[in-house]
Amino acid sequence: MTDTRFAPEADRPIAYMQRTRDWYLALGYGNPYVWAHHTDAPFQPLAKPLARLRVALVTTAAPYQPGKGDQGPGAAYNSAAKFFSVYSGDTSVDHDLRIAHVAIDRKHTSMEDSGTWFPLPALRRVAAAGRVQLAPRFHGAPTNRSQKHTIEVDCPEILARCVEDGADAALLVPNCPVCHQTVSLIARHLEANGIATVVMGCAKDIVEHCGVPRFLFSDFPLGNSAGRPHDAQSQATTLELALRLLESAREPRTTVRSPLRWSENADWKLDFCNPERLSVEEIARLRAEFDRGRQTARAMRESKLIA
């Protein structure tokens, strides 16, 4: 008998570029964002076995900043918690990183378990087991809407730090839609300069539109690129899939889809930036909040440039 039990229409990867375009138009903003697009991608084959690779971790999560407002579980978007310059941290110790500054899926992301967006502890464990070698530092990539700034400033800086650390490869873990573009541009730059990469992300259309060498796609809410929260097995499996992709890819633009599911019900995909699920009053409130956030971020960015 033929099986005609098709998956629900909503149970497909979210079209984030179209979703965010519609969202900002609904908030009253014109001039839709133009996403970075390439039809090709650089590719760096592995020069040594995986166990001998020194792997760097690149994140878009921000160090917790006391005094910069709520950045904890359930926090709303907090532009004051953004960072605007590349930073690095010691991989041998734990760090308090938060994602309250980015447009993640706040309804379906707990923000209580950083292992779901910053897989450093899991990476330390696989390094201790001899699966890879861990670079001495991880690197924080600023989330810039300016592709020019990312390409001309942040990409070379992260490359320089990876080279300084002797990294052979890098895992890049984004959170929000623009984060996915940011790390895709960085992956392209690293790869073109001899460092193999894997992007671990949830926004399939944005990463593939930009064009990267290797992409592990997890069909999870934004903010969960490294696995489900409070699920060590999910996080370990996601990291292992990324390492296997690093090892097995033979050509650029190789995408592997994780077999893990967020839930059996795909309704969560209808919530993110969906004006059809909000009242006129809620849309007006969100517009006002967004305007305030933009003003705060602009003031911080300008102060950094002046300094």
> Low-confidence residues of the chain, pLDDT below 50?
305-307
Check if the beta carbon of residue 218 is closer than 8 Å to that of residue 227.
yes
pLDDT value at residue 248: 96
Check if the beta carbon of residue 81 is closer than 8 Å to that of residue 152.
no
pLDDT value at residue 296: 63
pTM: 0.91
pLDDT value at residue 53: 97
Check if the beta carbon of residue 234 is closer than 8 Å to that of residue 253.
no
Q: Minimal CA–CA distance to 177: which of 140, 138, 221, 136?
A: 221
Q: How far apart are CA 48 and CA 262, in angstroms?
A: 34
List pLDDT tens digits, range 64-84. Answer: 888 877 677 677 777 777 888
Please state, as a whole number, how many other Cβ atoms lie within 10 Å of the Cβ of residue 297: 17
pLDDT value at residue 31: 82
pLDDT value at residue 29: 84
Instruction: Count Cα neighbours of 267 within 13 Å in the Cβ-side half-sphere.
Output: 3
pLDDT value at residue 306: 44
